[in-house]
Amino acid sequence: MFFKRLYDTDLAQASYLIGCQQNGTAVVVDPVRDVQRYLDLARQEGLKIVAVTETHIHADYLSGSRELTARTGAALYLSDEGAAEWQYAFAHEGLHDGSEIRLGNVVLRAVHTPGHTPEHLSFLLIDGARTPEPVIMLTGDFVFVGELGRPDLLDEAAGGEDTRFAGAQQMFQSLRQKFQPLEDYVQIWPGHGSGSACGKALGAVENTTVGYERHFAWWADDLADQDEATFTDALLEGQPDAPSYYGRMKRQNKAGPALLGDVQPLTALSSQDVQAALESGTRLIDTRTREAYQAGAVPGSLHLPAGKTFETWSGWLLDPSKEYLLLASTPHQADELRRRLWMTGIDHLTGFFTSLDGLKIQRQPATPAANLDLKRAFVLDVRAKSEYEAGHLEGATQLHAGRLIHNLGRIPRDRPVIVHCQGGARSAAAVSLLRAEGFDNIIDLEGGYAAAKSTVLA
């Protein structure tokens, strides 16, 4: 059996390519939209992708399942479990509890594990060349390393109302009925790692085992005591903010993401091309460092630095209906960032350029707290709720940066608005969005809360 985890560090997302080396066939589980990585790996290992599947309708990234089946002709297997309003709405072969995907000696057996979402499946992996017993469970957003999938996303991001309580109850029953009976040696390979907003405190280790989680997870005693009430309270408490784009991802993944098809190379633009595009309403994504951006940038440009959070921030701040162009350091970087934008459905790119020469630029400075009157301004804290609750500036309004684009009406235009995060990175991006949306009263607090608290709270 061939088994390979492919991991996106920005969204903390894992997908898997699993193959039977005897007959040369493979299945991909939870693919991302840039499917070339799976095609390259399968070719390298002498495998043909004949099946594609998912654990559930994802909220944090746009699925690549339709794209991969279109590129390979593979069969697409998706869950037909759960409530009708949250089932896949495009052509696929339906999976139910106990359904199997067979690849020679390798078998993936679907296990309905609702809780995170009603349709959620896990997959028991059987390597028939060694044993008829399951040796691996792909748990998606069911069981993570040291944590469980959050049951509140349908409420937080998809317009649900109080579905979190039914989800928590389902999670408890899934653990009792589907997880506990497994042998201790069964390996657990989840769909996310540390940093994902699909759970509270995901571990940084890649995988775990049934036995380890059953003995040492925070929920172990609640399950042993059959204490569903305590379990529910603990599971729902302290869940992180769900970015607004999660709702859009849910809807698109349910309906079927648009196919990328035969993608043409990204066009290199001259300064005249860039100026014309900006005048026609195209928005500029400036991918340089915060320091470079603040030293001088095109007015109205969006600051999304080309670092490890580029995909996350693109989901937070970009509108997929708009046209964009990229300021990148090289053509290679522009192509790489374009592929990362696909992850959150940002497909409309006019082109790229690598120099600001010939364009009007202006400084985008941050201002020290000592130079500001925080009591007279509207102070906007774009950190997470948990950060805000751990300590905040007096009178500050908390609004997670990932929810900013859909809550612009909450921000006043008739007085100064001082924006801050913890250290300055998120606020620089948030400030760029607000200025691009026409706010001319925005001030970026230098150094964020970490710097301001020593001045304001001293």
Strands 187-190 and 208-209: antiparallel
Confidence tier at 198 by pLDDT (50, 70, 90): low
What end-to-end distance do the CA atoms of the chain give, in Å?
A: 61
Domain boundary among 255, 279, 301: 255
- For residue 330, being part of any structural domain is answered with yes
The residue with greater pLDDT, 72 or 371, is: 72
Residues 398 and 292 occupy one common structural domain: no
Give phi and psi for 395, each to the nearest 5.
80, 0
Confidence tier at 218 by pLDDT (50, 70, 90): very high
What is the per-residue pLDDT across 125-160, written as a single tens digit (0 to 9) for each? 999 888 999 999 999 999 999 999 999 887 766 666
Domain boundary among 255, 284, 319: 255
- For residue 358, being part of any structural domain is answered with no
Angle between helix 310-317 and helix 331-342 axes, rounded to 10 deg: 60
Instruction: Report the pLDDT averaged over residues 423-447.
Output: 95
> What's the CATH code of the domain at 146?
3.60.15.10
What's the pLDDT score for residue 241? 82
The residue with greater pLDDT, 162 or 210, is: 210
- For residue 360, being part of any structural domain is answered with no
Instruction: Report the pLDDT averaged over residues 20-36.
Output: 96
Strands 397-398 and 93-95: unpaired
What is the per-residue pLDDT across 372-398, written as a single tens digit (0 to 9) for each? 888 889 999 999 998 999 999 999 999
* DSSP-assigned letters across all residues of 223-288: HHTT-HHHHHHHHHTTPPPPPTHHHHHHHHHHH-PPP--SPPPPPB--HHHHHHHHHTTPEEEE-S
HSE, CB side, 13 Å, CA atoms: give it for residue 339. 13
- For residue 233, being part of any structural domain is answered with yes
Residues 51 and 118 occupy one common structural domain: yes
Considering the chain, what percentage of its residues have pLDDT values greater than 90? 84
Residues 68 and 203 occupy one common structural domain: yes
Residues 275 and 242 occupy one common structural domain: no
Residues 116 and 165 occupy one common structural domain: yes
Residues 167 and 295 occupy one common structural domain: no
Q: Which domain holds residue 288?
A: 271-353
Burial class, 415, CB count within 10 angstroms (exposed 0-12 / middle 13-18 / buried 19+)? exposed
Confidence tier at 203 by pLDDT (50, 70, 90): confident
Residues 309 and 163 occupy one common structural domain: no
- For residue 264, being part of any structural domain is answered with no
* DSSP-assigned letters across all residues of 293-343: HHHSB-TT-EE--SSTTHHHHHHHH--TTS-EEEE-SSHHHHHHHHHHHHT
Residues 289 and 241 occupy one common structural domain: no
- For residue 260, being part of any structural domain is answered with no
Domain boundary among 318, 353, 388: 353
What's the pLDDT score for residue 114? 97
Residues 203 and 126 occupy one common structural domain: yes
- Is residue 197 over pLDDT 80? no
- Is residue 8 over pLDDT 70? yes
- For residue 262, being part of any structural domain is answered with no
What's the pLDDT score for residue 458? 47
Residues 43 and 144 occupy one common structural domain: yes
What is the per-residue pLDDT across 81-110, written as a single tens digit (0 to 9) for each? 998 888 999 999 999 999 999 999 999 999
What is the per-residue pLDDT across 270-318, written as a single tens digit (0 to 9) for each? 999 999 999 999 999 999 999 999 999 999 999 999 999 999 999 999 9
What's the pLDDT score for residue 242? 82
Residues 50 and 171 occupy one common structural domain: yes
Give how many domains the chain has, as a whole number: 3
What is the per-residue pLDDT across 358-368, written as a single tens digit (0 to 9) for each? 999 999 999 99
- For residue 189, being part of any structural domain is answered with yes
* DSSP-assigned letters across all residues of 53-106: E-SS--SSS-B-HHHHHHHH--EEEEE--S-GGGS--S--EEE-TT-EEEETTE
Residues 371 and 324 occupy one common structural domain: no
Confidence tier at 200 by pLDDT (50, 70, 90): low
